[in-house]
A and B are shown apart, each in its own frame.
Chain A
């Protein structure tokens, strides 16, 4: 860095991200994230989106060890 740079304005130079800019990202990825968590944590246990036990069996050990109710 060059020594010509004046120290950035001290205190509270932390920028915020406008809610309008963040909202679509939060909504879209929030939904995807929750769906992923649902499949690992609950599908084919208490409630089933897909019938059968393949999802349950596949993530079985993860569900136990990550603290979710499995069966």
Chain B
């Protein structure tokens, strides 16, 4: 049980999670992206304009100023998408594994596999689900180019608040479970997290740039995005818990054999 053994497992599980997320995003999500881009280029939805006859999904203002790089839709929805999901999967897997390494044996009476699963489940809620509820992802054609800076800032500030309060909620439950009992401590932590995040969500500005984009396509895109994120995190959570559980078993077996050898 070393940081290295955790990190290696985290990176491998992250790779698998990235592949799974790619498959779901490509099969379920891409049709929605294609339909949104088709709407965008016919100009029926408001938002930024696109040059006609460009195969790539370029942004009018950027391609004028920067001589933008053109990447075909075919590449974007395959290799580009794969790059994104693999990179996010591997990075998330590594970070989660090191967090799990830090919390092994330090989270109530949970086994290493149990505390690892808790880390990943909390990560899923704090980094994926809660930000999704406040600042849901938008398909191409939704959102004006002028507000991207502001919207990105809102999103990441909210993500930061969510992650920090989730970490504090876990610490609160860990501090109180001996006095209150484990179930009560978990309920207290969850309540504190929900209260902080709900208050923050109520105070932070709402983004409403959907315009006349078709509601059914927006719903379809957003659910496919949530399904992609759920796939990513389900593989991360299950895979890491399994890998850490096996690591713990191996460590214990080796320790038991050493003990036996010493006793002979």
Contact = CB atoms under 8 A, between A and B. Distances in A.
Contacts of B19: none
B43 to A, nearest CB: 16
A21 B56 contact: no
A70 B56 CA distance: 15
A11 B252 CA distance: 13
Q: Which of B66, B131, B136, B139 has the most CB of A within 10 A?
A: B66
Contact of B260 (A5, A34, A65, A66): A5
Contacts of B98: 22, 25-26, 29-30
Interface residues of B, number: 85
A25 B76 contact: no
A17 B102 contact: yes
Interface string A24-59: 011001101110110111100111000111101111
B104 A16 contact: yes
Interface in B88-115: 88, 90-92, 94-95, 98-99, 101-102, 104-106, 109-112
A33 B92 contact: yes
Contact of A62 (B25, B135, B140, B252): B25
Contacts, number: 205
B128 interface: yes
Chain B interface helix/strand/loop/mixed: helix
Given A17-B1, A26-B98, A66-B225, A53 B63 contact: yes
Nearest to B67: A52
B4 A33 contact: no
A50 to B, nearest CB: 11
B11 to A, nearest CB: 9
B90 A36 contact: yes
B69 interface: yes
Given A65-B137, A71-B148, A25 B83 contact: no
Interface of A: 1-2, 4-6, 8, 11-17, 19, 21-22, 25-26, 29-30, 32-34, 36-37, 39-42, 45-47, 51-54, 56-71
